[in-house]
Structure 1
């Protein structure tokens, strides 16, 4: 895959949750060039549940921000996504001399009964201080042989998309191309064309990105009274709609809500019930029932750990799992004993269809993780490299003998990861 000069390149292949292109999403690989601290890395064979570790400043948050960046580009435009991160000059690696940034993500999707690798390429350049989409491509192989076919191909805001891509009986040259010109040079083609079902690959890709969840949970945002009107089916990135989602699960998906309560009662001493209640003035609150007290008490009186555990369970027992879930340092405010069970919850979520990426500093969390589920980041000469635990002979040998990953991490067996 060439790295286009003078721009910002994003390459993805994906599984889609869209009904017309049924399949279960799984990220296969991520490649980054000149994206902040990642000058040139390629993370392959990503499992459904991946745990990322590393010293502070090695790029764990940056790795997750790859998904947030694309989500922001789709939600608004490229300029706003870059401005949110300090503009183009702050996103591109400092020693890149103004060259491209490459983000390459591989997914698989089921198309007309066959699993295919679909590729999305986005190149963002800057001209006279103004960012624009220099190249955007969506492609996959129509058959077993030959090169991937471009179903969407745009340059500088003008290009084409295929409207009958699933007609595999037709040769490539007979497919119907629809030429389009975008309204602005910093808008993604998949944002506009993805609204229309006739552009199936673009439509699937747009819906996929919109379904990603990159958690930025804040306990202060989750607490307190909330307006009874608002988004209620899925927990927001900050968790500020927690009472609304709890009420939605309580009323519409009672079995899932009961599972949450059962898990809470096992993991949080004394908590027997959680009640989403509508106040007389029209606001929603959460009331927690402690077995020691006859009267439930409001969420502002319970611990941070209790609120956070409840929020994680609401997220993880979502009846419609996100195709991708990213969570940073879930151990904060939680008792170490809960880490093993929380890791199992994340793994179970990934087995239900939502891939999970978690960053952590907790040896207790790592002790519940398998060899093939771990990678670590190492900063070398100002740039970050990624290492897979399963590819390290020493770690593999220790784990085969019954050692635990958290112990090996704590004792410094992850080469180059110790900040000292």
Structure 2
């Protein structure tokens, strides 16, 4: 039955699930060669014999597209292993996509350090190369960088202007001009919240954004009323710009969730079997109805409505 469902793809009877280009079971399976689409997946679990049936099939076209693969170490990822081979361009493209993902777990104390001079294209995980990225932006995109600083300064409460100062040893320091003070403050003198807001907004202004951007717990160190503004910036970046990053944000803060819709929130819970389950908040009819009545989503989470099975 499963083998017949695999064959149905050629007869236009596919179930509409996404295409695959690699199917492995305990390190053994099939890889589709070239750039053609693979077989469509469904919720049916295929055995290795079902998959190998494609090779025994009379269709020479199917045989030409696929090859048997077996990893000598099942702990290795098939995408990483086969994705380094030229004859698997689709797997290679997927591997490069995953390698382009960026994780941000910004640490203000790390960003307060004075890194060695030298421009760097992207912020790293903890943001301790913030000064290097500023140097790169000013050198490679001077006009854009001025506009970026102006846009960011207008979004940080109390900040009138942000500019840079070059030291004698070639380092580039950020200066924050606070509305209540005559002299500017350097980045290492700023509060955790101001640095975090600046770092996240700079991350969103990357001229070459990563395809997938994961931000861990942006609420740490932030005044709770700033979270809705930050959520708005994340949404605008992900939905309002061409070629922008797909954003995945993890949070434990109901105030941040208040700024989101049920369609934008997934709840992860760990079961008694040790496995985690993910459910979209909009799939809960009670939650959806209460949000439509004007109740904040974060408040419902705090009241355990999102944890209801």
TM-score by length of 1: 0.55
Q: Residue 274 in 1 paired to residue 163 in 2?
A: yes
Report the Cα distance in structure 1 between the residues aligned to 2:126 and 2:305, rounded to whole angstroms. Answer: 35
Mapped contact 2:79–2:95 kept (Cα < 8 A): yes
**Over residues 136-157 of structure 1, what are the superposed CA-to-partner deviations in whole Å (9 max), with x where a residue is unaligned?**
765599469x657xxxxxxxxx
Measure how far apart 1:179 and its partner are.
8.9
Which residue, out of 63, 78, 92, partners 1:203?
Answer: 92
Q: In the alignment, which residue of structure 2 is the partner of 1:172?
A: 62
CA distance in structure 2 between the aligned counterparts of 1:356 and 1:271, rounded to whole angstroms: 29
In the alignment, is residue 221 of structure 1 matched against residue 110 of structure 2?
yes
How does 1:1-150 map onto structure 2 within 5 Å? 117-120=19-22, 134-135=27-28, 139=32, 142=36
d(CA) in 2 for partners of 1:176, 1:359: 38
Q: How many residues are treated as equivalent by the alignment?
A: 271
For the structure 1 residues 121 and 224, does the alpha-carbon distance in structure 2 shift closer, same or farther, using more than 3 Å as the test? farther
Greater RCO, CA 8 A, separation 6+: 1
Could you give the per-residue CA deviations for residues 189-248 of structure 1, whole angstroms, max 9, x where no partner exists? 654654565531132122111110122222222112111236x11111111211111222
- Out of 109, 119, 132, the position equivalent to 1:244 is 132
Over 3 Å counting, the alpha-carbon distance change for 1:374 and 1:190 in structure 2 is closer
- Greater CA radius of gyration, 1 or 2? 2
Tell me how far 1:122 sits from its aligned partner. Answer: 6.4
Q: Is the 8 A contact 1:260 1:317 kept in 2?
A: no
Residue pairs, 1:358-397, within 5 angstroms: 358-381=249-272, 383=274, 384-397=276-289
Task: Say whether 1:333 aligns with 2:221.
Answer: yes
| Aligned-residue offset at 1:390 | 0.9
Could you list the runs of 5+ residues in structure 2 that have no partner in the other structure? Answer: 3-16, 42-59
Q: Measure the CA separation in 2 of the matches of 1:318 and 1:287.
A: 20
Q: Relative to structure 1, is the Cα distance of residues 279 and 256 closer, same or farther in structure 2, using a 3 angstrom cutoff?
A: closer
What is residue 202 of structure 2 aligned with on the other side?
314
Inter-CA distance 177–386: structure 2 relative to 1 (3 Å threshold): closer
**1:255 maps onto 2:255 in alignment:** no
Report the Cα distance in structure 2 between the residues aligned to 1:173 and 1:136, rounded to whole angstroms: 14
Once the two structures are TM-superposed, the CA of residue 308 in structure 1 deviates from its matched residue by 0.9
Q: Flag the structure with higher strand content.
A: 1
* Cα drift, residue 343 of structure 1: 0.6
RMSD: 3.6
| SS of residue in 2 equivalent to 1:313 | helix
Q: Hey, what's the Cα distance between the residues in 1 that align with 2:193 and 2:133?
A: 19
Residue 330 of structure 1 deviates from its aligned partner by: 0.7
Return the TM-score normalized by structure 2.
0.73
Separation of aligned partners in 1, 2:124 and 2:187: 18
Q: 1:324 to 1:143 in 2, by over 3 A?
A: closer
In 1: Cα distance, 2:63 partner to 2:172 partner: 58
